[in-house]
Amino acid sequence: MSFVKKYFQEESDAPAPLIATSRTRVRFEEVDSIGIVWHGRYASYLEDGRMALGDMYGLSYHLFKEHSVAAPIVQMHLDYKKTLRFDEQITIETSLHWVESARLNISYIIRNSAGDIAASAYTVQLLTDFAGGTIFITPLWLEEFRAQWRAGKWSTL
């Protein structure tokens, strides 16, 4: 197995990251002329992972919209380790890391069909209103989500 960077420093009293695993298949439109996934397509795999995480823990895009909050990505980093190929089944492990501020720190591991790490990545999303103004104080509904997380609501998943 390949070494995976630890992108976010975990506080000693922080709850464990929330993790979701999703699977997808490399489609023809995602590969270049020699049949390997074009590097720009990996951002879509991260999106698949974020959606699976939101679905699993009730932190969906719909919830953000319902509360008039956006969460644009302000940082994205990818480390490529192995190529992915057309028609390959891949797994995306997505982890939401605890943070006290009004942001989302998410890391990803993308594995090929053999289970080898093909890429690792992270994104940072800041909370904004729909006009693009930064939200500095975490909204109450997200604080309630974090209280449930700290209390171990999802520790058995």
Amino acid at 118: A
The angle at the Cα of 42, spanning 119 to 93, to the nearest 5 degrees, equals 55
Residue where the block lists tokens 């930064």: 134
Q: Among residues 66, 37, 42, which one has the least CA distance to residue 54?
A: 66
Q: What is the pLDDT of residue 154?
A: 86
Question: Where do the structural domains in the chain lie, given as residue ranges?
Answer: 18-150
Transcribe 3-31 into DSSP letters: -----SPPPTTSPPPEEEEEEEE--GGGB
> Are the C-beta atoms of 157 and 21 separated by less than 8 Å?
no
| pLDDT per residue of the chain (157 residues) written in tens, 0 to 9 | 456 778 998 888 899 999 999 999 999 999 999 999 999 999 999 999 999 999 999 999 999 999 999 999 999 999 999 999 999 999 999 999 999 999 999 999 999 999 999 999 999 999 999 999 999 999 999 999 999 999 998 876 5
Note the CATH number of domain 18-150. Answer: 3.10.129.10
